[in-house]
Structure 1
Amino acid sequence: MGTPPPPHDAADRLPLRERKKLRTREALVVTALERFTERGFHGVTLDELCDAVDTSKRTFFRHFTSKEDVAMAPLQDLWRAFLADLETREPTRGPLMELLQDALLGALDGTPATDWPHRVRLSRRLAAENPSMDAHGLRFCQDTSRAAVHVLHRRFGLDAADDLRPRLAVDLLVAAFHYALDSWTSLPGTPTRADLATRLRASCAALPEALTLTTAPAP
């Protein structure tokens, strides 16, 4: 799944070599999103992207698997941070959905880039125009969901392999996040991480009633 970039305060304490790697990765993400937005996803070759950052394709592939991967890095880094939070969160007794929501909110709060909201919006626009990015995102989402369920079974006392509820809970969280993300992306101006967190909380709060919502014949 890869490792999310560390928060700024942690990044400052990294060895020089690791800080250089992090700066190169950041430059690749920022440059890719800018160039893809200006010239189109297919209008920028990998060679051109690497030349713009003054790095090699070999270095690029140490960080990313493809153009789709670098273009979707902002949201993928969020979900990697979510998995990292689950790996380190203190196991306690309580509702699973609350634990998952808190882990995702913690990951959102810890996203290191100050311009992360802008990067996400650029990435979302590109994905809407390029089916290959959408397909890449779907595969990443499936892999992340499976990884999250694995952590839940291993660390949080959910041992029954045939229990569908952990996977369904993760899928509900993903659905709530995507609804929150869609509404956040459509906001005018420059919405913030706090705005996205507010919408995520509202989406998660609506889940219980969504599951018990009843239908009736139309008048």
Structure 2
Amino acid sequence: MTISEQPATLRERKKLRTRQALIDTAVTLFGERGFDSTPLDALLEQVEVSRRTFFRNFRSKEDVALTAVKQLWDVYLDVFDGIEKSGPLADVFLSAMLTTLERMDEGWYRRFPLTLRLIADSPALDGHTLRHCAEVQAEIARQLDEQNRLELRLLIEFFVAAWRCALDEWLPDCTPGELPAILRRVCSTMNSALSLEA
């Protein structure tokens, strides 16, 4: 299932529209005013929803701001769970992310760079992102049934570091079609990076 698929019933579609309005408005509003300095009530006022409606959709202000990040890793974990795991694990990690990026829609590619900039400007969001990333890494290890193996933990860390380096190169222009190629290039340099000498 891709993130662009629509639910069947009118009630579900209405709920999805409200959720999407909260997501889109949050990224724009927080980007304009700053995440830390924008109260939740300002978002609710713009979307014209109650606190009750908001908390039926999201756990917190941080949760709505990080939707694009969480969507990415939710899809990644789903892809990784179903992918054939043979050959070098680094290649499996990369293949799963490339498939994940193919499943992201245009709206996600618009929101994701804005979300990354919000994270860079907010210590609170940065902290939430780091915690979420740790949870994702633990789930990857769990799917491989090797939570305590040092080599696996290091490899997962290396892949996440490669992903972050790819995002750093992608962020200035944020052309959707370029991110997979940048990620491939960054991952291909991992071995040579590990053999660098002082």
TM-score, length basis structure 2 = 0.89
- Report the alpha carbon displacement of residue 26 of structure 1 after superposing the two structures with TM: 1.5
Residue 179 of structure 2, aligned match among 169, 181, 196: 196
The two structures, once aligned, show a CA RMSD in angstroms of: 2.0
- Report the alpha carbon displacement of residue 92 of structure 1 after superposing the two structures with TM: 4.0
Amino acid at match of 2:12: E
Distance in 2 of aligned mates of 1:102 and 1:93: 11
Task: After superposition, give the CA deviation of every residue in 1:119-143 in whole Å (9 maximum; x if it has no partner).
Answer: 1222122222211111111111111
Distance in 2 of aligned mates of 1:182 and 1:147: 25
Any residues of structure 2 matched to 1:1-219 within 5 Å, and which?
6-8=2-4, 11-12=5-6, 14-89=8-83, 91-112=84-105, 114-153=106-145, 160-187=146-173, 191-215=174-198
- Report the alpha carbon displacement of residue 161 of structure 1 after superposing the two structures with TM: 4.8
Structure 2, gaps ≥5 residues long? none
Aligned residues: 198
Q: Is residue 184–residue 195 contact of structure 1 (8 Å, CA) maintained in 2?
A: yes
Distance in 1 of aligned mates of 2:10 and 2:128: 32
Q: Is residue 79–residue 104 contact of structure 1 (8 Å, CA) maintained in 2?
A: no
Distance in 1 of aligned mates of 2:193 and 2:114: 31
- Report the alpha carbon displacement of residue 52 of structure 1 after superposing the two structures with TM: 2.1
Amino acid at match of 1:117: Y
Q: Is residue 121–residue 185 contact of structure 1 (8 Å, CA) maintained in 2?
A: yes
- Report the alpha carbon displacement of residue 34 of structure 1 after superposing the two structures with TM: 1.0
- The SS at the match of 2:178 is helix
Amino acid at match of 1:141: C
Which residue of the partner structure matches residue 157 of structure 1?
A: none
- Report the alpha carbon displacement of residue 163 of structure 1 after superposing the two structures with TM: 1.9
- Report the alpha carbon displacement of residue 45 of structure 1 after superposing the two structures with TM: 2.0
Using a 3 Å threshold, how does the CA distance of structure 1 residues 7 and 127 change in structure 2: closer, same or farther?
Answer: closer
Distance in 1 of aligned mates of 2:151 and 2:16: 37
